[in-house]
Amino acid sequence: MCQCCGMPLEESILSQEPDGTPNVAYCQWCYTGGKFVYETQEALIDFLSHHLAHPQWPPEQVRAHLAQLLPQLDHWRDRGEE
Ligand SMILES: [Zn+2]
């Protein structure tokens, strides 16, 4: 899974380094052009809670899920506590 947002990774959504090398740790939405898109977990959660939510999974539950999941992923663990 993507070590930034937790999305299951497939080849078609892998991120790339600026030279075109695939980066297998992150998806293309989290890491693009050699840079991370989201500065903070809050920014990522704000984005994902809108996009992942559906009638059976309301945004507040998505947020709660992500708030548990993200601190376990390498990208955020490396940064320590927010
Ligand atoms: Zn991602």
Question: Could you please report the per-residue DSSP string of the chain?
Answer: --TTT-PPP-GGGEEE-TTS-EEEEEETTTEETTEES-SSHHHHHHHHHHHH-BTTB-HHHHHHHHHHHGGGSHHHHTT---
Asked whether the predicted pLDDT for residue 78 surpasses 80, the reply is: no
Asked if residue 82 is part of any domain, the answer here is no
Q: How far is the CA of 68 from the centre of ligand 1 (A)?
A: 16
Task: Read off φ and ψ for residue 35, nearest 5 degrees.
Answer: -130, 150
Task: Read off φ and ψ for residue 64, nearest 5 degrees.
Answer: -65, -40
Domain containing residue 58: 11-77
pLDDT band of 81, cuts 50, 70, 90 = low
Asked whether the predicted pLDDT for residue 3 surpasses 60, the reply is: yes
Q: How far is the CA of 37 from the centre of ligand 1 (A)?
A: 9
Q: How far is the CA of 47 from the centre of ligand 1 (A)?
A: 11
Asked if residue 1 is part of any domain, the answer here is no
Asked whether the predicted pLDDT for residue 82 surpasses 70, the reply is: no
Q: How far is the CA of 67 from the centre of ligand 1 (A)?
A: 15
Asked if residue 70 is part of any domain, the answer here is yes
Q: Based on the structure, what is the number of domains in the chain?
A: 1
